[in-house]
Structure 1
Amino acid sequence: MSINVAFFCTGNGSFLKFIEQNRDTLGKFAWGGGVNLYLLCDRECGAYVDLKDKIDSIILQYSELGGVEFERQATCWLESKNVDYLVLTCDRILRYSLLDSYCKNKKAFNIHPALLPNYIGMRAVERSFVSDDSIYGATIHYVTKELDMGPRVARCVVERDSDNFVQYAHKLFVNQSVLLLNFLCVLVSRDQIHLLDDTFHKGFNPSLVIEKQDIVFFDSKDKEYLEI
């Protein structure tokens, strides 16, 4: 039986685009079958425009529905698709039926562009950039009602080697994308998910289960930014 993974996106959907172009690799790890991807949007964002012809997608206008009704309709749609896991790459905080249906059952994950518990909330990349930190990275955690406070299940740690924000952010994006792909490979394989402590070591935790040469990057030069 295939495993169904939905993404809630509100922007350009760069992480989902990366996952979609690596779908074959992800499918190889799926326990009992392949992986189906779904896209939930709260507006006509870049993710929907670029992926609606490749991925089963829906727009539910948050501005018209409001939070309670948006989450009710979103939950109904996800359940109609038998979605097993929900990945948040959005700027919405869940408070209602989505929280009850997916988050409380540990079926929802958020990917945060910082080494939690540091830099909780918005503009985490910018805040870490202006700090004196010699390392930075990204964290995947269970979604809970507390912002960015859910148990942490995956992270990548990279060394700071640039004072140019564009380069700094791009290196993070490359490693963060691979972090998400790797975590999904572990997740769909039905392997046990382990909680992380707050000890930071360079590289990926859990360790990469995918081969570097099998990863399809947006730009072939991006593999040079990968810290393993």
Structure 2
Amino acid sequence: MPCNVVVLISGSGSNLQALIDSAAQGDNPARIAAVISNRADAYGLVRAQNAGIATEVLDHKQFDGREAFDAAMMQAIDAHQPDLVVLAGFMRILTPGFVQHYSGRLLNIHPSLLPRYKGLHTHQRALDAGDAEHGCSVHFVTEELDGGPLVVQAVLPVAPDDTADSLARRVHQQEHQIYPLAVRWFAEGRLRLGAQGAMLDGEPLPASGHLIRT
């Protein structure tokens, strides 16, 4: 049985492209059923259309508040009977009702080694702090912003001459590896959210998630 995935985007969709490419591999049970964006000009919509994936735009500015927008989002998402909802550069803070509705089947990727640097400007913040390592994290979404149980993190060394831009490029490359990996684990039935946190193959993952060092 394929695992129906709905992907939410706001921008260029480079992580979406990595997910599309991964799902196209014949032995991957993940099937992207739809891509939904809150911005009509998101290039990720073109990527989805090029891959023959259904798309939909829900402009958050057309709704009277966050709850109304999220209610419409849930209706649009649920029309595709998703097993998993994936946030791929979706630049909206979700309401508790939305998060609870998809509890255990909602994944996000964040460009830092969580719990460090929740929120924005993660690469510059890592440089400003003099960190020796930086990276990205896939996690289950909970009501705490960027605070859900970690699934997998890619860890890379910070070079002495790194800038926020160079670091962002290298972190992006790792995002394109670990996000499809986490989605595939879920689609294969290997990854689940348990009472104690993320579980892989029936075993609790460590608090840092599965670590991949580059």
TM-score in same-fold range (> 0.5): yes
Alignment partner, residue 40 of structure 1: 36
Q: 2-side partners of 1:141 and 1:195: how far apart?
A: 11
Alignment partner, residue 77 of structure 1: 76
In the alignment, does 2:189 pair up with 1:190?
yes
Partner deviation per Cα, 1:62-93 (whole Å, 9 max, x = no partner): 01113122211111121111111111122211
Structure 2, unpaired ranges of 5+:
192-199
Alignment partner, residue 141 of structure 1: 139
What is the identity, as a one-letter code, of the residue corresponding to 2:61?
A: S
1:53–1:67: structure 2 CA closer, same or farther, 3 Å change rule? farther
Secondary structure of the corresponding residue to residue 87 of structure 1: strand
Alignment partner, residue 67 of structure 1: 66
Partner deviation per Cα, 1:132-168 (whole Å, 9 max, x = no partner): 1111111111111111111111111111235232322
Secondary structure of the corresponding residue to residue 145 of structure 2: coil
Alignment partner, residue 120 of structure 2: 122
Alignment partner, residue 175 of structure 1: 174
Secondary structure of the corresponding residue to residue 36 of structure 1: strand
Structure 1, unpaired ranges of 5+:
204-226
TM, length-normalised to structure 2: 0.84
Q: 1-side partners of 2:169 and 2:175: how far apart?
A: 10
Q: 1-side partners of 2:162 and 2:182: how far apart?
A: 29
1:40–1:162: structure 2 CA closer, same or farther, 3 Å change rule? farther
Partner deviation per Cα, 1:16-43 (whole Å, 9 max, x = no partner): 0122123223x5132xxx5234211111
Q: Which has the higher strand share?
A: 2
Secondary structure of the corresponding residue to residue 28 of structure 1: coil
Q: Which has the higher helix share?
A: 1
Q: 1-side partners of 2:61 and 2:38: how far apart?
A: 8
Indicate conservation of the 8 Å contact 1:29/1:186, yes or no.
no
Secondary structure of the corresponding residue to residue 22 of structure 1: helix
TM, length-normalised to structure 1: 0.79
Alignment partner, residue 212 of structure 1: none
Q: 2-side partners of 1:9 and 1:135: how far apart?
A: 28
Deviation at 1:121, TM superposition (A): 1.0
The alignment yields a C-alpha RMSD, in angstroms, of 2.1
Q: 1-side partners of 2:115 and 2:209: how far apart?
A: 11
> After alignment, is 111-120 or 154-163 more displaced?
154-163
Deviation at 1:184, TM superposition (A): 1.4
Alignment partner, residue 52 of structure 1: 49
What is the identity, as a one-letter code, of the residue corresponding to 2:45?
A: Y
Partner deviation per Cα, 1:71-117 (whole Å, 9 max, x = no partner): 11111121111111111122211105422311xx2110110100011
Q: 2-side partners of 1:164 and 1:181: how far apart?
A: 26
Indicate conservation of the 8 Å contact 1:11/1:47, yes or no.
yes
Partner deviation per Cα, 1:169-199 (whole Å, 9 max, x = no partner): 2111111110101111211111143433249
1:156–1:107: structure 2 CA closer, same or farther, 3 Å change rule? same
Count of matched residue pairs: 198
Alignment partner, residue 194 of structure 2: none
Alignment partner, residue 9 of structure 1: 9
Alignment partner, residue 210 of structure 1: none
